[in-house]
Amino acid sequence: MFTFNLMMVWFSLCAIIFYFTKIKSFKYYAAYTLFLGLYMGLKLSGEYTSLNLRETGWYPNWYLQLLYNCLYFIFAASFLNLEKHLPRLNQNIRRTAYSCLIGGSVLYFFLLLLGQSEIFMYFFLGVLLPIIELLAVYTIYKIFFINDRFKFYMIIGTIIYHIFAYFSLYLSHYDNTKFLGISPISWFTFGVVFETVIFALGLGLRIYQIFEDRNNTRISLISELQKNEKLKESINEQLQVKVAQKTKEVAVLIEDRKEREKQKIRMQYEQELLEMTLTSLRNQMNPHFIFNALNSIKNAIIHKSKEDAVSYLNKFSKILREVLKNSNNDECSLKEEVETLQLYMNLENIRLENKIEFILENEQDLNMSTFKIPPLLLQPLVENSIWHGLSLKEGNKNIIVRVFQNDEKYLTIEVEDNGLGRERAMEIKSKKILQRPSIGLQLSIDRLKLFGKNRLGPHDVSIIDLYDDDEIAIGTKVILKIPI
């Protein structure tokens, strides 16, 4: 009865772990060990006592085999996270397991009521067992190719269990012939024990990994909160300086209408900046974008006219409102995205004295209101072109955004600039003391990856370096292929 007691210990331990952690793998494994333990208990009771299960007319050992085999597949799908690695296999496993479980249970209890439960034994051996074995072989074959180190625990444990189980069945077929003085049921027991030990090791390492991941996530969140706090303090300091400067200017001009108008502008300016700061922190917007914009406002106040500074601020607050409007949305229309992008280019051209020509080409005259894309998908790419491709280039500078549809399932967007090219930009960047990280492309890839999960097809991002006939770099093109 050692094996039965071992199964009951594992059942209790896994049930307790699931109660405290809510990790589903332990719930399914607890159920698996419970029914496997009951099956072993009944088999061993018949082996070492006078209990004859056939005389009861219930044949519960066949029904228990159905239960623990179905629960094995559900446990395997949860343990290996097949919903992430192989979603189609995960769906097939669960459908097959639940169909066998429900259909077999209905048939068993129906036959039990009719007093013909022995028929279930033939149904299990002739129908359910072949389905279970085929599913086991197919599952082992498929999980062998997933990128998960825990797959080997499942594969090795399953193979060992089947070797001992079929060896035990082989010995039982020849009138319970003993091998090395050990009975067939004992060989089966060895297989169960080995499988249990291997699965236990896998579950132990899995829960260690989960807690390690949670700890790393907690550390990352703390780090992000600290960065946000520093950003908040920096923005507050800048706001205090600007408000103090504006207050002095308004105090001088307070007596006439012009001074009153400037006071009104100052109050509006202060309110918009405060709202902008609070909202940006609340929605965790891109910190480097806000920081650069505020620096541009500061430079406009110091080196340009106050009217230019107020104009810059008004445009910045307008684009910020557009961004915040979509901050809680997974998608927006292509038309809204293009309008936001044009606002951003207007904002950058004020800072760069209108040196960049922005061109939008809708090659097939598409109705951009009908297409949905992730919000703020194109802005990081355009910003990347400005900072790393065009900022150090002499002469004419332009950015072209092309929109067209060559496939009914995909929308294609190209962002092309006539900048220095990636190789020259990296060479210049490597010589700088303060290096600004380029994250625009990765931002867009990450957004597309999330956006494409529930779409008909995967996304695609490609980068093309442009050269003239003399192999001189003349720009860069980024091509986005977005599932519709």
The more confident residue out of 367 and 213 is 367
Q: How many helices (H) and strands (E) does the chain have?
A: 17, 7
Pairing of strands 397-407, 410-417: antiparallel
Residue 66 C-alpha from the chain's centroid = 35
Those residues with Cβ within 8 angstroms of residue 467's Cβ, 6 or more apart along the chain or in another chain = 421, 473, 474
Beta-carbon count within 10 A of 309 CB: 22
Integer Cα distance of 65 and 76 in angstroms:
17
Integer Cα distance of 274 and 450 in angstroms:
32
Do 350 and 312 meet the contact criterion of CB atoms below 8 Å apart?
Answer: yes
Model confidence at 170, in pLDDT bands (50, 70, 90)?
confident
AA letter at 62 = W
Residue 413 pLDDT > 90: yes
Q: Three-state DSSP class for 253?
A: coil
Beta-carbon count within 10 A of 259 CB: 15
**Token pair belonging to 19:** 């109660």
Q: What is the mean pLDDT of residues 453-463?
A: 74
Beta-carbon count within 10 A of 430 CB: 8
Residue 66 pLDDT > 80: yes
Residue 194 pLDDT > 90: no
* The overall pTM is greater than 0.75: no
Do 104 and 124 meet the contact criterion of CB atoms below 8 Å apart?
Answer: yes
pLDDT tens digits for range 82-103: 888 889 999 999 999 999 999 9
Give the pLDDT of residue 452. Answer: 66
Percent of the chain with pLDDT over 90: 11
> Which of 131, 255, 138, 150 has the alpha carbon at shortest distance from 203?
150
For residue 439, give Cα distances in angstroms to 356, 369, 446: 21, 28, 11
Backbone angles phi, psi at 407, to 5 degrees: -135, 135
Alpha helices in 174-256 (DSSP H): 184-252
Integer Cα distance of 49 and 214 in angstroms:
50
Element containing residue 93 per DSSP (H, E): helix 87-114
Residue 407 pLDDT > 60: yes
Residue 73 pLDDT > 80: yes
